[in-house]
Amino acid sequence: MTRRLILPRSALNPVYIPCLDAPQRYQIYFGGASSGKSCFLATRLVLDTLSGRNTLIVRNVAKTLRTSCLNEVQKAISRLSLGGCFRISRTDMTITARNNGAQMIFCGLDDVEKIKSITPPNGPLTDVWIEEATEIAYNDFKQLDKRLRGQTRHVKRMTLSFNPVYKTHWLYREFFSGFDESKNFLLSPDLLILKTTYRDNQFLTEDDVRALESERDPYFRAVYTLGEWGATGENIFTNWRTEDLSHLQNSEKCLFGLDFGFSSDPCACVRCRYDRDQKRVYILSELYEKGLTNDALAQRLRSFAPHSYVTCDSAEPKSIADLKNHGILALPAKKGPDSLMHGIQWLRAQEIVVDIRCTHMARELTLYQWKRDRDGQSIRQPQDRDNHLIDALRYALEGEMSARYAAIQARPCW
């Protein structure tokens, strides 16, 4: 049985047909909502199983698979009139090809032990399909990649499908460095990336198209209608990127800022450098932890900021005094009227480069937004959340923000 015999011409959107037999180890299908990604991958999965491929289909949470991928595959089987070719067990979350015993195995990443013990009855796993890949952690992806091992006549493949979120996500860092965003396709020996939107789906109704095209929210229109990596009009910081700053980690000209926290909020400390000529802020490392007493915090700071001045939130003079008693060179930030907005506006005028290991800082810069009024319009007042390391960064750089920083500039940083 060949694909030409069992696949009607109308079964797939034309944009996906060249990908039916794609051999690349890593295959990325991303873009807008209702673009037909899941329908195509479910159809390909049915054909792959009949050809002897064993596939693990995962999402972050197991219970979401039953109403998403499993249902999509069952619809593909019905659409292709192949019901008699498979044994379907919704209890075990498996679908088995009668002709060769190859399996589709559906499992959530919240069931770690089951993932570790998965062994198809006939041959090794040849494929992993990660649906809604933006939901999973990088380490989970790496572990799944390692599951593809063993002798088989089939080329092994990792397939990831998702709607894009933010460029700070590990998926963007891992796969999109060479992707030309003016194009929709990238092909190399090991990597395939295909971007699609609702315009590529010939099966949508007029109502479906109208609903997508009438989306007014900037973020949802960018991500779900246009399939773009998200950025909202309410985002305060868009002038930043992540980069491997290993070459700067031994730098001596460092500035430190600290925002206190304990139970509900984390204690956040940042280590950074400022290039005044380039107007560029380098964020080199971060300390981000809940439940730290001042004693424990002082111990962390001895290694995080050894022999260095640390500019702290002046709202907690007792905590600053405690740190000083433990030998930390703690100083209160010189906050004043409008210092918050002044600091934000100054930072918005700089280029901010975040080390790839500073994941909490990247998250805050991604999520930090302006407030909205009752009509949903953004106002120039920041929301008081997702800002602990950002506040620490303002404290660290307050000397650079002032026209009179000569005295602070002389602070030692050994």
Outline where 61-137 has alpha helix (H): 63-66, 69-79, 112-117
Over residues 160-173, mean pLDDT? 85
Does the pLDDT at position 410 exceed 80? Answer: no
Q: CATH fold of 240-409, please?
A: Nucleotidyltransferase; domain 5 (3.30.420)
Distance, in Å, from the CA atom of 153 to the CA atom of 145, rounded to the nearest integer, reads 18
Does the pLDDT at position 89 exceed 70? Answer: yes
Say whether 240-409 and 22-225 share the same fold.
no
Yes or no: is domain 22-225 CATH 3.90.950.20?
Answer: no
Which long-range CB contacts under 8 A does 112-116 form with residues at least 24 apart? 115/56, 115/58, 115/143, 115/144, 115/147
Task: Tell me which residue has tokens 């698979």.
Answer: 65
Instruction: Band the pLDDT of 2: cuts 50, 70, 90.
Output: very low
Distance, in Å, from the CA atom of 29 to the CA atom of 192, rounded to the nearest integer, reads 8
Alpha-carbon dihedral 181, 182, 183, 189, rounded to 10 degrees: -50
Indicate the residue type of 293. Answer: T
pTM: 0.60
Where along the chain do its domains lie? 22-225, 240-409
Q: What percent of the chain has pLDDT over 90?
A: 64
Which tokens hold the place of 7? 């696949």
Write out pLDDT tens, residues 198-257: 999 999 999 999 999 998 876 778 888 999 886 655 788 888 887 889 899 988 889 999
Closest CA to 358 of 230, 242, 239: 242
pLDDT value at residue 116: 73
Closest CA to 45 of 164, 121, 149, 131: 131
pLDDT value at residue 33: 95
